[in-house]
Amino acid sequence: MRSLPPLIAMACLFTSCAASYKPIHPPSLHYPQGDRNDSFQYKYDVLQLTRNKKFANKEFSNQIKVVAIKITNHTGQPLRYGTNYKIFSGDREADILPVGEVAKHIRESVPTYLLYLFLTEANIPVDEGGTKERIIPIGLFLGPAVTILNMRIAANANKHFRQEMEEYNLLETEIPSGQTGYGLIGIQSMDFAPLYMKVLDK
């Protein structure tokens, strides 16, 4: 078997590892000042803010922005997206993507961690004195173990991200009058365009 220097093996272990998902939890965020009555507030960069770096990188590469939304309903009527209010960017309605579409593009690549199977060939030479040397095939355990661990962490991270997007799915949430609602939306956008809410005529 081919011998892989231990330092190289360790470098593989501590770079590009899968990362668990850290919840955004929109109600706990600090929102910048919103519109005149603070009825609509939002925050970009929430994946980066919550140290979900791998998800934030996917967000950037796919030109999708995950935005936390806070809406305080002063309208005297329940608010439901598309029925009596919408979110706009400039003079156009914001291109809000379905949760499934966001989760499809913003996710850790689970199959990528199969590359850790190359660690299977890692051996550690042990000097037994003189010219004798014993080879310990540490990779036979290390390769599969690290591969399975990283694939499991990545899959769980993807699952928990999608679950939180579904929990705070603004498109499916009714906000009663006098109450505050929180949501997470994914919008197709290249920049951090200002957003605003428009209440529609009945």
Asked which of 90-94, 114-118, 153-157 is least confident by mean pLDDT, the reply is 114-118
pLDDT of residue 144: 76
pLDDT-based confidence at residue 91 (cuts at 50, 70, 90) = confident
Separation CA 100–CA 47 (nearest Å): 17
Summary count for the chain: helices (H), strands (E): 5, 11
If we measure between CA atoms, which residue out of 195, 171, 170 comes closest to residue 182?
170
**Residue 118 neighbours by CB under 8 Å, 6+ apart:** 12, 143
Instruction: Work out the mean pLDDT of the chain and round it to a whole number.
Output: 85
Domain range enclosing 165: 32-199
pLDDT of residue 190: 85
136-147 pLDDT, tens per residue? Answer: 666 677 777 778
Separation CA 55–CA 25 (nearest Å): 15
101-135 pLDDT, tens per residue? Answer: 999 999 998 877 777 666 677 666 666 666 666 77
Q: Is residue 52 part of a domain?
A: yes
Q: Is residue 106 part of a domain?
A: yes
Q: Is residue 23 part of a domain?
A: no
How far, CA to CA in Å, does 110 sit from each of 8, 16, 150, 153?
22, 12, 8, 9
Q: Is residue 132 part of a domain?
A: yes
Beta-carbon count within 10 A of 90 CB? 10
Task: Record the tokens describing residue 116, joined without a space.
Answer: 């850790």
- What residues pair up with 68 in beta bridges, in sequence order? 43, 184
Q: Is residue 143 part of a domain?
A: yes
Q: Is residue 65 part of a domain?
A: yes
Q: Is residue 116 part of a domain?
A: yes
Question: Is this prediction's pTM over 0.95?
Answer: no
pLDDT of residue 131: 67
Q: Look at 32 and 34; give whichever has higher pLDDT.
A: 32
pLDDT exceeds 70 at position 94: yes
Q: Is residue 113 part of a domain?
A: yes
Structural domain count, the chain: 1
pLDDT of residue 2: 44
Average pLDDT over residues 164-168: 97
How far, CA to CA in Å, does 95 sit from each of 82, 86, 188?
12, 11, 6
